[in-house]
Amino acid sequence: MNLRNLLSTALGITILVGLVLYTGGFFESGGISPDSASRPQPTQGPTPSRTATAHLKTISQTTTAPGTVAPRTTVRVEAQVAAQITSIAVTAGDRVSTGETLIQLEHNRLDTAVEQARQHLVKRQSQLDQARENLPAAQAEFNATQAQWRRIKTYFKAEAATKQELEQARAAFHRARSRLTTARKRIGQAAAGVEVARQKLRAARIKRGYARLTAPADGQVAKRLADPGDQARPGTPLLVLHTDRTLRLEARVPESRLAHVRQGHNATVHIPALPAALSGTIEEIIPSADPRTRTFTVKVALPDYSGLQPGMFGRLEVASGTRQAVFVPEGAVRPMGQLDIVRVRQQQGWQDILVTTGVHRDEMIEILSGVAPGDEIAFAGGGHGT
């Protein structure tokens, strides 16, 4: 019983292996092997009536880099004091004029500070006035005691006054001189206090002026970053303005291609959203690379063009020398799905060759691989031989 089961199992395995080999084509001859699949096969049919010759052509090379259209001048409107926003008079896209009120901040606290500074100035001014009023009396006392001391000294020399009278006159003179010095010093101190109070009042008024944010120049609101009721803080932008209508492309050029970019040279800028290419001038090259992308920022001045807006995508093209390339007529390239094929004369006959194509120039197409200079090729459709 066990032997019969073993024979049945072995027979089943043999039949299964035979089916696998048969379906795999191992019992057929003349089939396609892996090596034969990679070799170009001769094409059956008549000789093409129109042919051309692949030839070398010198073409200019360009360095291309993506970029973004940006305004030449951008201004951030920020608060100089911490306060709540009470109103915003503009929104994105609005045109503004120099000095126009853009944002109003809450200013009750600032008004109080101005009033306190004003009252402090009044107090200091009163102290100065009082100090100046005391000066004439001190000056008069000084003059009188000085004259008395001089007379007593004269009398003393003539033995018409005693030494005690001389000492009393001299002491009175020194006291009067000290009071005069103090009076003059108090005037100086009071005057200094008045100046400090004036500066504090001026600073408070300037700070009060910070509650009204105005446009620094004519321009357009690019971004609105706050709303009424928000808390404004120094250093935090509330609006972004474009204050110069001149635009430029800020492109990111790889470090390997930077040698072809020169400040002051002309450049071509393609904006997909516009119907025509723009001619610009390279006006600035930032001398430090982005460590993450290894690219340099190149700024290209753009002409005034209808429809050109900040934020648009663009491509910078800069001439970077010449190179040799193999070209064939466009009519000689036949697309097949995702592939491009060219029929080339070989020793064994006309063969379809898979090619890699490049740029298009004047109804010619560059062949990067698959065709060599001098190869005779056939037209796939309409066209004229060369």
Of 81, 29, 316, residue with least CA distance to 212: 81
* pTM of full prediction above 0.85: no
Instruction: Let me know if residue 47 belongs to a domain.
Output: yes
DSSP string, 67-101: EEEEES-EEEEEBSS-EEEEEE---TT-EE-TT-E
Instruction: Let me know if residue 125 belongs to a domain.
Output: yes
Q: Are residues 102 and 220 in the same domain?
A: yes
* Assigned token pair, 321: 């020398």
Q: What is the CATH number of the domain that holds 302?
A: 2.40.30.170
Q: What is the CATH number of the domain that holds 367?
A: 2.40.420.20
Residue 337 host element (H or E)? none
Segments forming the whole domain that contains residue 373:
41-58+323-378
Q: What is the CATH number of the domain that holds 130?
A: 1.10.287
Strand partners, 71: 247
Rounded-to-integer distance, Cα 156 and Cα 262, Å: 97
Instruction: Let me know if residue 137 belongs to a domain.
Output: yes
Q: Are residues 234 and 86 in the same domain?
A: yes
Instruction: Let me know if residue 225 belongs to a domain.
Output: yes
> Tell me, what's the pLDDT at 259?
86
Q: Are residues 317 and 327 in the same domain?
A: no
CB-CB neighbours of 133 under 10 Å: 11
Q: Are residues 97 and 218 in the same domain?
A: yes
> Tell me, what's the pLDDT at 307?
87
Instruction: Let me know if residue 2 belongs to a domain.
Output: no
> Tell me, what's the pLDDT at 28?
43
Rounded-to-integer distance, Cα 24 and Cα 40, Å: 24
Q: Are residues 217 and 102 in the same domain?
A: yes
Rounded-to-integer distance, Cα 282 and Cα 312, Å: 18
Tally of CA atoms within 13 A in the half-sphere of 303 that contains its CB: 12
pLDDT means per 10 residues, the chain with 386 residues, are 52 52 43 37 60 87 88 89 93 91 94 94 94 92 92 88 90 93 93 95 93 90 92 93 87 89 90 91 91 92 88 88 88 89 88 89 88 89 44
> Tell me, what's the pLDDT at 384?
41
- Residue 270 CB partners (closer than 8 Å, separation 6+): 277, 278, 314, 315, 317
Q: Which residues of 341-370 are buried (b: 16+ CB within 10 A; e: fewer)?
A: bbbbeeeeebbbbebebeeeeeebbbbeeb
Rounded-to-integer distance, Cα 91 and Cα 227, Å: 10
Q: Are residues 172 and 221 in the same domain?
A: no
- Whether 345 contacts 12, CB under 8 Å: no
Rounded-to-integer distance, Cα 346 and Cα 40, Å: 10
Q: Are residues 135 and 186 in the same domain?
A: yes
Instruction: Let me know if residue 327 belongs to a domain.
Output: yes
Q: Are residues 83 and 217 in the same domain?
A: yes
> Tell me, what's the pLDDT at 244?
74
Of 277, 371, 293, 287, residue with least CA distance to 332: 371
- Out of 275, 301, 321, a domain closes at 321
Q: Are residues 280 and 337 in the same domain?
A: no
Of 65, 71, 66, residue with least CA distance to 311: 71
Q: Are residues 179 and 54 in the same domain?
A: no
Instruction: Let me know if residue 36 belongs to a domain.
Output: no
Tally of domains within the chain: 4
Q: Are residues 232 and 280 in the same domain?
A: no
Crossing angle of helices 108-157/163-209, nearest 10°?
Answer: 160
* Assigned token pair, 43: 């094409």
CA distances from 237 to 139, 231, 249 (A): 60, 12, 24
Instruction: Let me know if residue 199 belongs to a domain.
Output: no
- Residue 287 CB partners (closer than 8 Å, separation 6+): 296
Q: Are residues 343 and 289 in the same domain?
A: no
DSSP string, 338-372: TEEEEEEEETTEEEEEEEEEEEEETTEEEEEES--
